[in-house]
Amino acid sequence: RRYVAGGQCKSTAKLEGKVVIITGANTGIGKETARDLARRGKVVVACRDIAKAEAAASEIRAETGNQQVIVKKLDLADTKSIREFAERFLAEEKELHILINNAGVMLCPYSKTADGFEMHLGVNHLGHFLLTFLLLERLKQSAPARIVNVSSLAHHGGRIRFHDLHGEKSYNRGLAYCHSKLANVLFTRELARRLQGKSQRRAEFTANALHPGSVHSELVRHSFVMTWLWKVFSFFLKTPWEGAQTSIYCAVAEELDSVTGQYFSDCQPAYVSPRGRDDETAKKLWSVSCELLGIQWD
């Protein structure tokens, strides 16, 4: 059980006066990440399901005594919702110190987002890509700031299929998830390179990715087989609290103040697949993502 639990964030860093956004923080590791960070500072819970988000936020407020746990609507499957969220946030909050791109979908039957993107790519990668783009200036103004992207060990099985990004020629729900998690790693790598190049001090902006571990959560709800396996082998899975530890570590650990463009698992650096270290693919994915979203991000 202790082996399965993995690493634990030991940092006691406070986030007094600081603001954190966590996407998908109404359940699973996102909720546990929000619960921990609410003991340290102000947390914005950004979720599609407002009722679930309010219930989670109410629970966290009662447990931590922190009334600065704010719920805002964000549907990562709709770029209009993402832009509306960013517009409201920027109007109401003058600072943003940590952005945790946590929300995700897994093993979805073939479907598309409101903008016509394949669901895994659209939510797990493009939605967070656009959100980060819209909030980046506020992060820069609040520096030092951190961007944390929740990826997965599944990125090892992914590849960026530029000829069929939206799975219209062939589609496998498991591979689609792997492709989107590889996109998270490549986005992190290219983002870190660009931020580092424009920053006078490397510590001003950092972007890191992570694998939370195999976690007993609602993420497998789209697959009957995986849901059954998760129940049968639950003893060998991390709890959401255990799965949240590396997200928390990447968000607050003092030793990561100047670490950027890295990939972590169990609160320590982890191996990245060769495809996840391909700078040319990372640059091309960046360019294609901008084109799909209709933005210019130089």
Reported as a single tens digit per residue, the pLDDT across 45-61 is 999 999 999 999 999 99
CB 8, CB 217: distance < 8 Å: no
Residue 247 main-chain phi, psi, to 5 deg:
-60, -45
Higher pLDDT, 216 or 17: 17
Domain residue limits, the chain? 15-292
Q: Cβ atoms within 10 A of the Cβ of 224, count?
A: 10
Residue 62 main-chain phi, psi, to 5 deg:
-65, -40
* Nearest by Cα to 102 from 137, 151, 160: 151
Measure the CA–CA gap between 112 and 167, rounded to whole angstroms. Answer: 10
Cβ-in-10-Å burial (0-12, 13-18, 19+) of 280 comes to exposed
Rounded to the nearest 10°, the torsion over CA 75, 152, 243, 228 is: 80
Question: CATH code for 15-292?
Answer: 3.40.50.720
**Secondary structure class of 143 (helix, strand, coil):** coil
- The partner residues of 205 in beta bridges, in order of sequence, read 145
**Secondary structure class of 215 (helix, strand, coil):** strand
Secondary element (H or E) of residue 173: helix 173-198
Query: Mean pLDDT in the chain?
Result: 91
Query: Which percentage of the chain shows pLDDT scores above 70?
Result: 88
Cα-based angle 144, 24, 281 (whole degrees, multiple of 5) = 65
Query: What number is the average pLDDT over the span 241-247?
Result: 94
pLDDT band for position 238 (cuts 50, 70, 90): confident
Measure the CA–CA gap between 240 and 244, rounded to whole angstroms. Answer: 6
> Is 177 an active-site residue?
yes
Our measurement of the distance from residue 32's CA atom to the centroid of its chain's CA atoms, rounded to an integer in Å, reads 14
CB 144, CB 204: distance < 8 Å: yes
Lowest average pLDDT, out of 194-198, 203-207, 294-298, goes to 194-198
**Per-residue pLDDT, 251:** 98
The answer to whether the Cα torsion of 15, 71, 91, 250 is positive or negative is positive
**Per-residue pLDDT, 202:** 47
pLDDT digits (tens, 9 = 90+) for 85-118: 999 999 999 999 999 999 999 989 999 999 999 9
CB 205, CB 260: distance < 8 Å: yes
β 205-211/268-269 pair status:
unpaired
Active-site residue, selected from the candidate residues 3, 171, 177, 249: 177
Query: What number is the average pLDDT over the span 132-137?
Result: 98
pLDDT digits (tens, 9 = 90+) for 219-229: 545 444 545 44
pTM of the model: 0.92
Whether residue 240 is predicted with pLDDT greater than 60 in this model: the reply is yes
